[in-house]
Amino acid sequence: MLRQLLCLGILLAIFFVCGWAECNTCSSDTKAACVSRTQYQNCTDDIPTGPLYTCPNNTNCTGSAELCTSNEALVACVDCGKCNGTQPFTCTSPSSFAVCLGVNVMSTVYSCTQGQVCNINNPIICGASLNGTGATCSYYDTSTEIESFCSLKASTGRYAYPNDSSCLRYIYCVRKSTGWTGNVWLCPSTKPYFNPSTLVCSTTKYSSCI
């Protein structure tokens, strides 16, 4: 039995090292970081930066050497808003968290201190960003809510992310042949705050931002 457990431990270690990827963390093998289940950015100085790329042919972003694969077991950015029964909390967004009760996520959401991110591997929950971001949750929401938001705006451009008092991100809406769509972007560290009035990233916080 002991030998079986040791073998299982070794296999799991190999699995995590070779294939599993944390969200927003640069890989030394691919020089890229998964920023959502299906999207990635190339890394410069261990910081995800530049254009956003989508994995082709319905594949997923992973920590494997080929980056995008169809192996669901290796998908990155899947730990957001989940409780596994052993952890005391879960991240609900890049800068917020909630208490876990078993496998259930409690309804009260808490915000990290300004400039910090939530990471499920951080024993104190929130901390200074690692490798540029280090947040467990993706900054790039590809859900239908973003499409609905952009459909209501019906105009190409940047918009404040709804109900985000941190003002660290914004939605960029574009028109495609099938309708309106958009992506969520994080303001750069040189201009970290999105101004909902001027609709640009700036060095100072807007009055309504926390």
The predicted-structure confidence for 35-89, as pLDDT tens digits, reads as follows 888 888 888 888 887 777 888 887 889 878 888 988 888 888 888 888 988 999 9
Q: Is the pLDDT of residue 157 over 80?
A: yes
Distance of alpha carbon 204 from alpha carbon 194, whole angstroms: 9
Confidence of residue 98 (pLDDT cuts 50, 70, 90): very high
- Report residue 130 as tokens: 């690692």
What percent of the chain clears pLDDT 70, i.e. is strictly above it? 85
Q: How many DSSP H helices and E strands does the chain contain?
A: 2, 16
Lowest mean pLDDT segment, chosen from 6-10, 19-23, 34-38, 171-175? 6-10
pLDDT score at 2: 44
Mean pLDDT along residues 14-42: 75
Model confidence at 1: pLDDT above 50: no
Residue 72, φ and ψ in degrees, nearest 5: -65, -25
Question: What's the pLDDT band for 11 if we cut at 50, 70, 90?
Answer: very low
Tokens standing for residue 190: 């040189």
Eight-class DSSP state of 20:
-
Q: How far apart are CA 123 and CA 162, in angstroms?
A: 29
